[in-house]
Amino acid sequence: MRKISNHGSLRVAKVAYPLGLCVGLFIYVAYIKWHRATTTQAFFSITRAAPGAQWGQQAHSPLGTAADGHEVFYGIMFDAGSTGTRVHIFQFTRPPRETPTLTHETFKALKPGLSAYADDVEKSAQGIQELLDVAKQDIPFDFWKATPLVLKATAGLRLLPGEKAQKLLQKVKEVFKASPFLVGDDCVSIMNGTDEGVSAWITINFLTAKDGKELVSPCLSPSFKGEWEHAEVTYRVSGQKAAASLHELCAARVSEVLQNRVHRTEEVKHVDFYAFSYYYDLAAGVGLIDAEKGGSLVVGDFEIAAKYVCRTLETQPQSGPFACMDLTYVSLLLQEFGFPRSKVLKLTRKIDNVETSWALGAIFHYIDSLNRQKSPAS
């Protein structure tokens, strides 16, 4: 991967090793994706389009052909995060009737993130244009009109009031439309957490698929073998040969992924916490709480359960193969956040007979937005 030095007015962000971050997300979504019957459109099925072709149309001739007869094409993805905006310029080659292979990536990141320009939208265009110039330098001229250009915004823009976020996205879209690249109506959008996880899963598959598309994890039983099919590609999933106990191997890998990537705060020691969603389901699944009524536990209970489940999987590899991974990850994640092992968590699906989901918060925020629109400007 080639990094571009920064000659503009914005500082270049440090580039974290991509596989480490993706593996963290992989741990989050692996179990869900294993059982999920439907998936989003595969990254592998990037549509070929000749210069001048419209978005989504199939070209009658390949974009470019390498000396060995392999098709060559490009894609540009902007990742608009909370701390910075990053551009990934990907070059792919695809042998006839085969899955594409990533042959090169150019990466550049600028700070601050788009959300920092919420009150001065016009200033956001400068950084976007600077990153587009990197793409123009990296991609041959003949490929510009056929290279898809996309921006996905994540956490930073999700937290902004809707109107401010949309103004920022509209400004980005204007800059994109003025570029020479292939721009569709949906070229700029806010990515929800689920899509972010699914995309990370596809990234892991794409980057680790080799020698028959095999994915190996130290958090799966050494004797576990399974298959997962996606985009007409079948992946073999298996555990790693054990030089130590399964929990020790898994915990070591998870700790490596989390190291220096989680903000630890002392305040968590002194505040009451409720946990729900997958924390609830995971705890109920291993008997830490009642599946219907919920209950309380201490953070250390997740670690105890992880060790027990991992030990069980060493002799019964097919009994919930991802439970060791999930419990180990949750246990270490909470500890990295600063939760003591003795910290009590209240796990519940309802408070005052109201579901602990995002719905109440979403409608409250919406009503508050309406009220602020009705109020005279201060």
Pairing of strands 85-94, 101-110: antiparallel
N-to-C CA span, the chain: 50
Residue 212 backbone zone (phi > 0: left; psi -120 to 50: alpha; other: beta) = left
H/E segment holding residue 173: helix 162-177
Q: Is 196 a catalytic residue?
A: yes
Structural contact between residues 184 and 56, judged by C-beta atoms closer than 8 angstroms: yes
Catalytic residue among 71, 105, 196, 336: 196
User: Rounded to whole angstroms, how far apart are CA atoms 95 and 73?
Assistant: 12
What are the Cα distances from residue 278, in Å, to 29, 45, 283, 357? 11, 31, 8, 11
Residue 127 backbone zone (phi > 0: left; psi -120 to 50: alpha; other: beta) = alpha
User: Rounded to whole angstroms, how far apart are CA atoms 78 and 189?
Assistant: 11
Task: Count the residues in the chain.
Answer: 378
Q: How many alpha carbons fall within 13 Å on the CB side of residue 153?
A: 25
User: Rounded to whole angstroms, how far apart are CA atoms 37 and 62?
Assistant: 32
| Residue 149 main-chain phi, psi, to 5 deg | -120, 120
Catalytic residue numbers, as ranges = 196
